[in-house]
Amino acid sequence: MANRKGLKGEMKLEGFLCFALYSANNAMQRVTKAAYKNIGLTYSQYLVMAVLWEGGVQSVNDIGKKLFLESNTLTPLIKKLETLNLLERNRSSKDERKVMVSLTKEGKTLEKESRSHANSVVEKIGLSMKDFKELQSKIVRLREQLVKD
Amino acid sequence: MANRKGLKGEMKLEGFLCFALYSANNAMQRVTKAAYKNIGLTYSQYLVMAVLWEGGVQSVNDIGKKLFLESNTLTPLIKKLETLNLLERNRSSKDERKVMVSLTKEGKTLEKESRSHANSVVEKIGLSMKDFKELQSKIVRLREQLVKD
DNA sequence: ACTCATTGTATCGCATGAGATTTAATCGTT
DNA sequence: AACGATTAAATCTCATGCGATACAATGAGT
């Protein structure tokens, strides 16, 4: 607890990065919500679909590791996508604790449709490729620091 | 719609920054939730309190402008803080559309307590002052871009 | 085989965020 | 003063996230 130049200063500093992230994420959620509404998905739902487009059939836990989410968040989300007929849930026969998630034909088709909407988000962000990648990697490093332990 | 080097690439790129922000924010929420639990506040609740500590008596809308939130989000949040006896809500006599929010003695006292917990978040983030400020300002610029129009 | 810890999902309760709509108060214009 | 437009909050509904917990299936060690 050494090295402090006044608690007040540190408190504000903490507030700034936390709050920047919080408010920027809120803003991003609003933009993505508008963009993906056209294909009938929320951004969270899109993320699950994206993981499936990328990685094919996998368990709830596999999806969770990629999205940093747990079953208490994913189960309702995946069930919602199931009611939209975009994916199927089936217990693994090898390990009946696992629920394997697979895309339906409809779910696979949606990938193509999603691309133009993703583009509109990129345009809204309005950064050069270089700035885009730099910022992305810095935020990823921040996340890695935060999920430690 | 000119200037594209393949939609697939752009889609992934879009995903990276959106997702970085989304997942880093989730991680930050988990950290701040743990930190502020000690004073009985969530991070959103802490933000409202921080605005009041900083700016004194103000309307719901004033708080909303600073936090980029609307009454549909703030009203329940502020009512929750009211039940915790940290603040009071009173209609403005000058303009009865406005609800003025003011701190109780208990709410004012909480500011001091909150500081050490804020410190623990700063430690968890683990960035140098320079990196901290740089990242913060970049994320703020991103937010500004996203809230345009 | 038996017990105990672990793993994978699901459930419950709580707290957010946001869009759409509603209500009341105020403002601007005539 | 009267009217419509605007503004400030609140309400309703929906979709997340997460901590805590429950439950069944599996694995490890005996």
The alpha carbon of residue B31 is apart from the nearest alpha carbon of chain A, in Å, by 7
Min CA distance, B98 vs chain A (Å)? 24
* Pair of tokens at residue B126: 């683990």
**Cα of B99 to nearest chain A Cα, Å:** 23
DSSP structure class, residue A142: H
> Does A129 sit within 8 Å of B145, measured CB to CB?
no
**B113 in contact with chain A, both atoms CB, cutoff 8 A:** no
Instruction: Quick: pLDDT tens for B48-81.
Output: 999 999 999 999 999 999 999 999 999 999 999 9
Question: For position A13, what pLDDT does the model report?
Answer: 62
Specify if B1 maps to a domain. no
Angle between helices B129-146 and A105-125 (to 10 degrees): 110
Helices A7-37 and B7-37 cross at an angle (nearest 10°) of 140
Q: How many CB atoms lie within 10 A of CB A142?
A: 25
Strand D neighbors by CB, 7 A: A 29, 42-45, 68-70, 72-73, 76-77, 80, 94-97; B 22, 26-27, 29-30, 33-34, 59-62, 64, 70-72, 74-76, 78, 89, 95, 97-100
Residue A79 lies in a domain: yes
**DSSP, residue by residue, B28-96:** HHHHHHHHHHTTT--HHHHHHHHHHHHH-SEEHHHHHHHHT--HHHHHHHHHHHHHTTSEEEEE-SS-T
Does residue B43 lie within any of the structural domains?
yes
pLDDT in tens, B101-141: 999 999 999 999 998 888 888 888 988 889 999 999 999 99
Query: Does B14 reach chain A within 8 Å, measured CB to CB?
Result: yes
Domain of A80 in residue numbering reads as: 11-146
* Token pair recorded at residue B20: 């970085």
Q: Is residue A130 part of a domain?
A: yes
Q: For residue B7, is it within any domain?
A: no
Q: Residue A8's pLDDT band (boundaries 50, 70, 90)?
A: very low
* pLDDT at residue B12, rounded to an integer: 63
- Say what the pLDDT of residue A2 is: 38
Report pLDDT for A14: 65
**A115 touching B, CB under 8 A?**
yes
Interface contact A14, partner B, CB < 8 A = yes
Amino acid B1: pLDDT: 39
Q: How much is the pLDDT for B13?
A: 63
Distance B63 CA to D29 C1' (A): 59
The count of structural domains within chain B is 1
Listed as ranges, the nucleotides of chain D within 7 A of a protein C-beta are 7-13, 15-21, 24-27
- Rounded CA-CA distance A81/A77 in Å is 6
Distance B59 CA to D8 C1' (A): 9
Q: Would A5 be classed as within a structural domain?
A: no
pLDDT tens column, A117-139 = 888 888 889 888 899 999 999 99
Chain A touched by B97 (CB under 8 Å)? no
CB-based burial label for B95 (10 Å; 0-12, 13-18, 19+): exposed
Which amino acid appears at position B101 of this protein?
V
Average pLDDT estimate for B16-20: 92
User: Inter-chain contact A121–B11, Cβ cutoff 8 Å?
Assistant: no
Residue A1 belongs to some domain of the structure: no
pLDDT one-digit tens code per residue, B88-99: 999 999 999 999
CATH code for the domain in which residue B138 is found: 1.10.10.10
Sign of CA pseudo-dihedral A34, A37, A39, A42: positive
Range with the poorest average pLDDT among A145-149, B46-50, B143-147: A145-149
**pLDDT tens by residue, A56-108:** 999 999 999 999 999 999 999 999 999 999 999 999 999 999 999 999 999 99
CB B32 within 8 A of CB B43: yes
Domain membership flag for residue B16: no
What is the distance between the alpha carbons of residues B44 and B34, in angstroms, rounded to a whole number?
13
Q: Tell me how far apart the alpha carbons of residues B109 and B121 are, in angstroms, rounded to a whole number.
A: 20
Q: Supply the pLDDT for residue A149.
A: 72
